[in-house]
């Protein structure tokens, strides 16, 4: 568990970036010297370094701009793309009386695998591992993974045959639905 939530961390990163950039510009304007990494024009060249402010009014305007940004920070929304999960299944490995029945089962299995992949991305994977060592020799090493979570609003992007014996299913969940699922999971925990 982290001290700050992801949206709060994103806001903090933006604020720190703005304040850092504003302070660099203010140092350059007050001292007339470029901040490290900037080049000073040679003799006879036109200077791109701004002159120091004639009064505190320019600095006050800059601070007011930073305060406006901070006030509007709650309105800033970082767009995160939707996530996708892919699933595959082999037709010939499916039970069924005829080829069409096995195809439908393969599509169903591929869809479930795609849902599992989406759930892993949203809720994470739990890994349990046991290693047994006896007399300084590895006796056994077992690992088990499990995924538990709710998946809602998965949209089918495509169902396509791959080769003559495999089906591919691609599902997608948008960011708003992910936020809703995570809030519901936190309430239930």
Rounded to two decimals, the pTM is 0.53
Gap between the terminal Cα atoms of the chain = 13
> Is residue 30 scored above 50 in pLDDT?
no
- Whether the per-residue pLDDT at 187 is higher than 90: the answer is no
76 CB contacts (<8 Å, ≥6 apart)?
11, 14
> With 90 as the cut, is the pLDDT of residue 90 above it?
yes
* Mean pLDDT of the 54-73 span: 61
Residues 174, 177, 179, 185, Cα dihedral to 10°:
-130
Name every residue whose Cβ is closer than 8 Å to that of residue 68 and which is 6 or more positions away in sequence: none
Question: In this predicted model, what pLDDT tens digit does every residue of 31-48 receive, in sequence order?
Answer: 555 545 445 555 554 545
Residues 6+ apart with CB under 8 A from 97: none
28 pLDDT higher than 60? no
How many Å apart are CA 182 and CA 155, to the nearest integer?
18
Q: Number of C-alpha atoms within 13 angstroms, CB side, residue 36?
A: 0
Helix (H) or strand (E) holding 168: strand 166-173
pLDDT (average), residues 138-152: 90
């Amino acid at each position: 568990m982290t001290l700050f939530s992801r949206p709060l961390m994103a806001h903090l990163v933006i604020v720190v970036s703005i304040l850092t950039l504003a302070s660099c510009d203010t140092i350059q304007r007050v001292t007339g010297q470029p901040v490290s990494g900037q080049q000073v024009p040679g003799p006879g060249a036109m200077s791109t370094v701004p002159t120091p402010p004639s009064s505190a009014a320019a600095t006050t305007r800059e601070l007011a701009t930073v305060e406006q940004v901070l006030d509007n920070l709650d309105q800033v929304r970082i767009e995160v793309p939707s996530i996708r999960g892919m699933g595959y299944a082999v037709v010939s490995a499916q039970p069924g009386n005829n080829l069409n029945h096995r195809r439908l089962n393969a599509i169903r299995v591929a869809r479930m695998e795609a849902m599992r992949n989406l759930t892993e991305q949203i809720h994470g994977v739990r890994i349990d591992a046991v290693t047994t060592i006896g007399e300084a020799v590895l006796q056994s090493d077992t690992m088990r993974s499990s995924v538990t979570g709710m998946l809602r609003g998965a949209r089918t992007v495509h169902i396509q045959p791959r080769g003559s014996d495999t089906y591919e299913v691609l599902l997608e969940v948008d960011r708003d639905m992910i936020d809703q699922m995570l809030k519901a999971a936190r309430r239930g925990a």
